Amino acid sequence: MDAENERGCYCSLWQKSPETLEKQGVPRGYCGICEICRKPGHLRQAPGATAYTGAWCDRCYRALTIKHYMLWLALPLILAAAWLFERLYS
C-alpha cells in the first residue's frame, strides 16, 4: 500500500476513471459518500471480519470500528455472566 493511501481506500480511482466519481458527486480527495452521515468519505472494507465494502467518513468509520470491537469485547463478558448466573441459581 502506498503512503498516500494509508486508509486502504479506493482514492486511486481518481487516476483510473475520474468520470465515475464525478458522476456520483464525490469531491476530489475522497472516493465515496458516507453511508451514515452523507458527507464525503472513503470507500473501504468495513472494520473487523465482515465481508462488506462501503463508504464512510473518517468520523463514522472510527465510531463503527469502536462499536465493532466493543461488541467483541462485551460478548465474552456476557457469556461469562450467563454461565455464572446458571451456576449460582440452578
Q: What is the pLDDT of residue 4?
A: 57
pTM: 0.73
Q: What is the pLDDT of residue 71?
A: 82
Statement: residue 2 has pLDDT above 60: no
**What pLDDT, in 10s, does the model give residues 16-43?**
889 989 998 999 999 999 999 999 999 9
Nearest-angstrom CA–CA distance, 24 and 26: 6
Question: C-alpha dihedral over 47, 48, 52, 55, to 10 degrees?
Answer: 0
Q: What is the pLDDT of residue 49?
A: 77
